[in-house]
Structure 1
Amino acid sequence: MVRKQLRIKNISGLHLRPTGMLCNEAIKYQSSIQIVTGSTTANAKSVLSILGACVKCGDEIELICEGNDEEEALAAVAGLIESGLGE
């Protein structure tokens, strides 16, 4: 299992468009990918799960990957989040 702390840069937080981009990247990997914010855990491969977490701009999240390709998954998904998810 690998983890990384990240801060959400998107002005509007994780709304539908950036969440869709994040999910499209996450589903490329076999590993389980979770987003933890406060007491909420969201499946990074589910748009509804992420939207339900109500992640806002400036929120601190923890990205947790577990599986065969966990290192690659963490690097790719964290890189996408750090880049601002296209915004």
Structure 2
Amino acid sequence: MKQFTYVITDEAGIHARPAGLLVKEAAKFASSTTIAKGAKKGDLKRIFGVMALGVKKGEEITVTCEGADEDAAAAALEAFFKANL
């Protein structure tokens, strides 16, 4: 299991456009990927799971990747967050 935390810097938080791109990025990997904000958790491969968290600027999220390609998934998703959110 690989895990990382990230503080959202985008003014609009995780809104529809980047959420859709994030889901597409997560879908590239076989590993199970989840995003969590506090006690809430969602599947990173489902846009409703990501949007339901309502992540705003300045909030910390935790991404967990578990599976055969977890190292690659965690690295790619962390790079995605740094570049887009």
CA distance in 1, matches of 2:47, 2:10: 16
Count, aligned residues: 85
Normalised to the residue count of structure 1, the TM-score between the two structures is: 0.94
Aligned to 2:84, the other structure's residue is in SS state coil
Structure 1's unaligned 5+ residue stretches are none
CA deviation digits over 1:34-79, x for unaligned, max 9?
0111110011001011100101111101110000000000000111
Identity %: 35
The residue number in structure 2 matching 1:3 is: 3
CA distance in 1, matches of 2:42, 2:55: 10
The residue number in structure 2 matching 1:62 is: 62
CA distance in 2, matches of 1:56, 1:49: 15
Correspondences of 1:1-87 after superposition (within 5 Å)? 1-85=1-85
CA deviation digits over 1:4-56, x for unaligned, max 9?
01111111011100000100000000000001111100110010111001011
Runs of 4+ in 1 over 3 A off after TM superposition: none
RMSD: 0.8
Cα deviation, residue 84, structure 1: 2.0
Structure 2's unaligned 5+ residue stretches are none
Normalised to the residue count of structure 2, the TM-score between the two structures is: 0.96
CA distance in 2, matches of 1:68, 1:45: 16
